[in-house]
Structure 1
Amino acid sequence: MTRNLLVTGAAALAAFGVVGCSSDGGSANGSGSAAGSGAGSSADVVAYHADYPAYDSLDAVIEESDLVVKGTVVGSRVEPMLPETSAGGDPATNPQAGLSPKEIARAEAEAEADPVVVTVSTVKVSQVLAGDAAVGDTVEVSQLGGTYKGVTYKERDTTTLAGGGTEYVLMLADNGTANPYDLLNPEQALYTVGSGGAVKAVSGGGFDHAGTVSRLADRTRRLSAR
């Protein structure tokens, strides 16, 4: 099955729909995913195609970020992202505004039957480059995809955060205290840290020549001082 996802802002899911079906025998998604239980087989794969905000430069990503940190993954979970509920009557803040209780129940049942699956990684912060956090804090980061109830969900541009001591630089959007952070863009906002603190994009869609962590920290300070 292939599903198109419309992503707006900083990876806030706005809408999704089933656009076609296919089956392939791929393996589970990434080392940050955890297998779920329930129906389905390991050969079941749902491919997500998501449209994310794109940025012209690394500086633009940094300036839009609420938090920029270096850290390592210390745990992860896979879960469905269910619709938010609100008592408000404004459709801008409550997508279910104006719906009857029966319609709301139907929408929630459909979302549970055909979920948008995310991997939520817990990242321990070892350095804060920008934003409100402290060394030793943990932050949760949500990414599309994972293995849930025997089905593997994959988003083509997403590299799931891995454990095992890999160091990352993450450029994150704050979605409120009750919600995990999101990467501003799955490629342009995710970097690994290598020998000597060298910062490298996880994929070809990221920005080259990010330098080292210390240079990137200087860069974020200069941008914040503007």
Structure 2
Amino acid sequence: MTAIRNILVGGSALVAAVALAGCSLEGTSKAGNGSEGESNVVAYEADYPAYDSIDEVIEESDVIIRGTVVGAQVRELLPEASEGDDPAANPQAGVSPEEAAEVDPVIVTVSTVKVAEVLSGPAGGVEAGDTVEVSQLGGTVDGVTYKEEQTTHLVKGTTEYVLMLADHGPQAPYDLLNPTQALYTVTPGEKVEAVADDGFGNAGSVGQLAAKARTIGSAR
């Protein structure tokens, strides 16, 4: 049987978790041991803000960084308790405290990113050489894989990313404004390329993107 439940996560996405009992995802590494095999799957359906241009993503970003992933871990995140009786704004409207306490946590993968360059951000904020945490939906826990179809997880290693991030406060990881429109890699020629097909293809070079971010920032 398929079960659907709505969850508010991190202030940036409304998530519906669809439990697909008995389905398998081949070739998925299970958390903690790196082995491959079959696992049950929970499909997350997330509603993210969408943007009409890369300029809009830059303008809405709290910080834009260039960096590489040096580590990652899967975490369980309890959904935010939103108040109000409007189901559109509060997916848990009408749910009793007892039922709310039984809501499953949301599974996220939190990557630790070593910052090589800050392309945009407030003075006194993130600096080159810092490490920051970036949260993305999904991960594998106890043989169950949680997936969100728009999300491409960051990969530990030498791949350089440009990440356009939302800041949720000092105690919370950053997250991407949009999983496809705010995630880019850097080529050996310094070109910024979208990871997903529906990312923006006109980001230009790292230098051009940084200059555009400064221009947009000064116009605020």
Please confirm whether the aligned pair reaches a TM-score higher than 0.5, indicating the same fold: yes
Question: Does 1:43 pair with 2:78?
Answer: no
1:54 matched residue in structure 2 = 50
Question: Does 1:63 pair with 2:59?
Answer: yes
2:169 matched residue in structure 1 = 176
Distance 1:117 1:98, change over 3 A: closer
Tell me the alpha carbon deviations over residues 46-99 of structure 1, each in whole angstroms, 9 at most, x when there is no partner.
22221211100000000000000001111100011113469xxx659xx7x999
Q: Distance in 2 between matches of 1:16 and 1:120?
A: 20
| Mapping for residues 49-198 of structure 1, pairs under 5 Å | 49-84=45-80, 91=84, 103-111=96-104, 115-131=105-121, 132-198=125-191
Greater fraction of residues in helix: 1
Q: Distance in 2 between matches of 1:82 and 1:69?
A: 27
State the AA in 2 paired with 1:120: V
How far apart are 1:220 and its partner, in Å? 0.3
State the AA in 2 paired with 1:122: T
What TM-score do you get using the length of structure 2 for normalisation? 0.81
How far apart are 1:110 and its partner, in Å? 3.0
Q: Which of 163, 173, 193 is residue 200 of structure 1 equivalent to?
A: 193
Q: Alignment length, in residue pairs?
A: 208
Q: Distance in 2 between matches of 1:130 and 1:82?
A: 30
Q: SS of the counterpart of 1:208?
A: coil
Distance 1:23 1:98, change over 3 A: closer
Q: Distance in 1 between matches of 2:210 and 2:3?
A: 39
State the AA in 2 paired with 1:162: V
Uncovered stretches (5+) of structure 2, i.e. residues with no partner:
none
Question: Does 1:16 pair with 2:12?
Answer: no
Q: Distance in 2 between matches of 1:6 and 1:54?
A: 19
Q: Distance in 2 between matches of 1:77 and 1:188?
A: 23
How far apart are 1:108 and its partner, in Å? 2.7
How far apart are 1:109 and its partner, in Å? 3.0
What TM-score do you get using the length of structure 1 for normalisation? 0.79
Please provide the CA RMSD for this pair: 3.1
Uncovered stretches (5+) of structure 1, i.e. residues with no partner:
none
How far apart are 1:122 and its partner, in Å? 0.6
How far apart are 1:23 and its partner, in Å? 1.2
Distance 1:225 1:25, change over 3 A: closer
* Preserved contact between residue 3 and residue 49 of structure 1 (Cα < 8 Å): no
Q: Distance in 2 between matches of 1:105 and 1:2?
A: 19
Specify which structure has the bigger relative contact order, considering alpha-carbon pairs within 8 angstroms and separated by 6 or more residues. Answer: 1
Q: Which of 216, 221, 225 is residue 218 of structure 2 equivalent to?
A: 225
How far apart are 1:13 and its partner, in Å? 4.0
| Displacement over 6 Å in runs of 4+ | 97-100
* Preserved contact between residue 168 and residue 191 of structure 1 (Cα < 8 Å): yes
How far apart are 1:17 and its partner, in Å? 5.0
Tell me the alpha carbon deviations over residues 131-154 of structure 1, each in whole angstroms, 9 at most, x when there is no partner.
121001111111011111111111
Question: Does 1:209 pair with 2:202?
Answer: yes
* Preserved contact between residue 19 and residue 43 of structure 2 (Cα < 8 Å): no
* Percent of aligned pairs sharing the same letter: 50
